[in-house]
Structure formats: structure tokens, C-alpha cells
Amino acid sequence: MSDKQPMPTGLQLTALDPVFREDPREYLDRLRIEDPVHRDAELGRLFLTRFEDVRAVVSNRSLSVDPRKAQPDSYFRRILAANEPLGAFEPSMLQLDDPDHKRIRGLVSQAFNQRAVDTFRPRIRAITNELLDALTGRDSFDVIAEYAAPLPIIVIAEMLGVEARDLAQFKRWSDARSQIFNVARMPEQTAELAVARQGHDDYFARAIDERRVRRGTDLISALVSAEEAEDRLTQREIVITCDLLLIAGNLTTTDLIGNGVLALLKHPDQLAKLRADPELVPNAVEEILRCDPPVVQTGRLALEPFEIGGIEVKAGEAMTASVLAAGHDPARHSDPHRFDIERADMSHLAFGGGAHFCLGAPLARAEAQIAIPLLFERFPSLRLDPQSAIEHKRVPIFNGLTALWVHFA
């Protein structure tokens, strides 16, 4: 390997480095072969790239996600430190271990589950059609700004019971909030983040008070009603959960739809198969999640000495599990870089696993399964705009496009 460039370490692996961000697969493939449990001293973590290691770590319920339990120099602590200017750390379920995690997730899942999504499916289709109606008659448009971005925000806002007039404000807050995961953000992004947090918090606190007096059929009402063994969510826990549903669900679903539309436009043979057989739609969405996952990595923390891939992990040490690398592991998937919607083994770890498996997976899948085929059904002659470069977003952890211009042939 001596004739190759040195292995990227540190920040480069967080996708801030343009070379890595535009095409990380080559680096990840090399890491998986040469150093699959890579000790990233710069950022204080182990970086995992093999499917089996990533799966073992994300599904292990004795590992922690609580940054307060991490070693002082670990990656988890850096995220905490970066968020200090925002005030006291108030973890959502994403950063809580049992028993708090089990309790909150149990109560939230009473309100937000597969049944709630299935009931909402016709409305998702209607919202999708309305967005497409607005694009009819145009020569070209940006799939991200005018389709993939508004859809999830309108859907979750309607599910929560947010008024239509508050939608634009909601979108701005949610976009600013996505910087919460960015350890290297600019001071002005931190300031925007603080304003957005206050805006969200005040809005939801008011909405919860209203629902306590008069329940509706929306998700906030269901969260207010959720009860188990005489236990309920506090107002603050509901506010934090609503905020999490927005920051965890909007950008990610936008990226899933955007990455999917791009993959199909770049692979006309796969698009033709999808058009010929709509039953392939669920498979196609899983293949998009495997090949180009909207969240490229998740993390866990060892509370006790632990071993992964023959490497000893110390208590308090952080592990970053690259779900992007895991989805391209030739030990798991044959010809892993090939985009193939008829692949026999579609398994991926794009929604993480174990106790923290993405709670919004049914909603994200429903939106992508409706939005991607409907776009090509309504606009069969859609093509990539050859004049527009494909540019990736500059938010680490998230993997998506800033814009995707298409035109009609």
C-alpha cells in the first residue's frame, strides 16, 4: 500500500473533507481491508467499517449512547462540548440509556408507530401529489428544494398537528437544528441553533398545554395521552421528543428521496425495471438505503472493557459505526457498489439497530415508497440537468444533496 495516499484520519472521516465527502467509498473500502477497527486518535474514537462489526456494535444493548459517560477526550464528549453554548444538556431518547430510554421510547411508541403511519399513508400520497401539481408545466426544477425537502416537513408537521401557517417557520427551525450534530460548526450556526431551539421549545410547550385542555387526533395529543403503569411523559419530555422527531426525520427523509431519485436517474435500466414492476418499490428503497444511506454513521460507547474485531475497547471509549461502509462490505453483499433493486440480500444498517433502531423507519419508508415512484409516474420524461453539478451537503453525518436539478427531455 506504500504507493497510495495515507489513510485519511480525524476530521476527514466526518465527511468535512471534500474529497472524502464526494466519494468516501474508496477510503472506506481501504479502511475495511487495512484497518477495519481504526483507532482515530484525532477525534477520540474507534471507526468500524465491517458489516458484522457494525451490526454487533449497534445491536449490543449493553453499550451506551449517553455522552456524559464517555472519556474526557472522546468523540462523544466533543459533541457535548460543542453544544455547551446552547445551555444545559437535555438528552432525547437518542442519547439516553435504560431505564430512561426504555421508559420514554415505550411511551412515545404508543403514539408514533406503524399503525399511525399506515393511517397517514393516504394523506402522504395527497401531499405528494399536491407538490407535484405545483411543478406541472415547468421546464426544469430542483427535486430537493421543491419536492424532497418540503414533503417530510409537511408530513411530520401535519402528523403533529402544526398549523399550516406555521410551516415555513418550522422548516427554518428544523434546518438550523440539524447543525446539532456538527462538531465543527461555525459560531453563527451555533447562534442560529440556539434561536431555533427556543422557537421550537416555546411552540411545542404551548401546543402541549392546549392539548391537555382539548385533545385532538394528532401526534402531540397522542403523546399527551400516552400512559403506561400510571406513568406519563412530562411536558419537557414531550417537547424534547417533538424536537427529535423533527431533527431526526426531516433532513434524513429528504436525503433518502434525493439520493434515490439521483440513483434511478443515473441507472436508467433500474428505473425501467421499477416502472415495469411497481412491486419492486420497497426493494428499491432498501437498496437506496444500503448504497447511499442518509445517515452515514451512528455511535456507541463501551462502559466496560469490550472486544470488537479482535481489538480491545477500553471503558469510556467511543465507537463510530459506519453504516455506509457496512452497506458496501463485499463479505456481506456481492459486487457491493452496484445499484441493483433486485438484489437478493438487501440487508443494511441505515436505521441503526438494537434498542435505538430508528423509531421513524416506517414513516421514512412510507414517504420514500410513495414519493419516488410517483415522481417518475407523473413526469416520465424526467432527466438529470447536464448543466448542473451534483453537490453534496456540508453537514457531517448526514449524506445528501444540496440541489438536484432535473428537466424534461
Q: Which is nearer to ligand HEM, 83 or 298 (CB)?
A: 298
Measured CA distances, 217 to 92, 188, 221, 321, 365 (Å): 24, 38, 6, 38, 23
- Closest-CB residue for ligand HEM? 360
Task: Report if residue 343 touches ligand HEM, rule: CB under 6 A.
Answer: no
Task: Report if residue 219 touches ligand HEM, rule: CB under 6 A.
Answer: no
**Binder among 356, 369, 371, 406 for ligand HEM (CB under 6 A):** 356
Task: Report if residue 358 touches ligand HEM, rule: CB under 6 A.
Answer: yes
CA pair distance 206, 45, nearest whole angstrom: 40
Query: Which grid coordinates belong to 95?
Result: 442519547
**Binder among 79, 144, 244, 262 for ligand HEM (CB under 6 A):** 244
Q: Which of 99, 69, 109, 68 is nearest to 315 (CA)?
A: 69
288-307: which residues touch ligand HEM (CB under 6 A)? 293-295, 298
User: Beta strand pairing status for 318-322 and 45-48?
Assistant: parallel
Query: Which grid coordinates belong to 342?
Result: 433486485
Q: Tell me if 76 sits within 8 A of 70, measured CB to CB.
A: yes
- The binding track of 69-98 with respect to ligand HEM, each residue x by CB under 6 A or -, is ------------------------xx----
Q: Which is nearer to ligand HEM, 274 or 295 (CB)?
A: 295
Sign of torsion over alpha carbons 342, 345, 349, 355 = positive
Task: Report if residue 401 touches ligand HEM, rule: CB under 6 A.
Answer: no
Q: Which is nearer to ligand HEM, 67 or 360 (CB)?
A: 360
Q: Quick one: which segment of 83-91, 170-178, 202-210, 252-260 binds ligand HEM (CB under 6 A)?
A: 252-260
Minimum Å gap between C-beta 409 and ligand HEM is 29
Task: Write the DSSP assignment of 38-60 as a string of letters.
Answer: EEETTTTEEEE-SHHHHHHHHH-
Minimum Å gap between C-beta 41 and ligand HEM is 23
Q: Which is nearer to ligand HEM, 62 or 334 (CB)?
A: 62
Helix (H, G, I), strand (E, B) or coil at 393: coil
Task: Report if residue 249 touches ligand HEM, rule: CB under 6 A.
Answer: yes
Instruction: Say if residue 345 is exposed, middle or buried (CB neighbours under 10 Å; 0-12, 13-18, 19+).
Output: exposed
Task: Report if residue 64 touches ligand HEM, rule: CB under 6 A.
Answer: no
Q: Which of 27, 347, 380, 15 is nearest to 181 (CA)?
A: 15
**Binder among 49, 178, 179, 253 for ligand HEM (CB under 6 A):** 253
- At what angle are helices 114-133 and 361-378 packed, to 10 degrees? 30
Minimum Å gap between C-beta 322 and ligand HEM is 11
Minimum Å gap between C-beta 226 and ligand HEM is 14
Q: How many residues bind ligand HEM (CB under 6 A)?
A: 28
Q: Which is nearer to ligand HEM, 10 or 354 (CB)?
A: 354
DSSP structural state of residue 347: -
Q: Quick one: which segment of 41-49, 135-143, 266-274, 349-357 binds ligand HEM (CB under 6 A)?
A: 349-357
Q: Tell me if 298 sits within 8 A of 359, measured CB to CB.
A: no
Helix (H, G, I), strand (E, B) or coil at 325: helix
Task: Report if residue 124 touches ligand HEM, rule: CB under 6 A.
Answer: no
Sign of torsion over alpha carbons 277, 281, 283, 287 = positive
Task: Report if residue 256 touches ligand HEM, rule: CB under 6 A.
Answer: yes
Task: Write the DSSP assignment of 133-181 as a string of letters.
Answer: HTTTT-SEEEHIIIIITHHHHHHHHHHHT--GGGHHHHHHHHHHHGGGG
128-167: which residues touch ligand HEM (CB under 6 A)? 156
Site residues, ligand HEM (CB under 6 A): 58, 93-94, 105, 156, 244-245, 248-249, 252-253, 256, 293-295, 298, 350-354, 356-360, 363-364
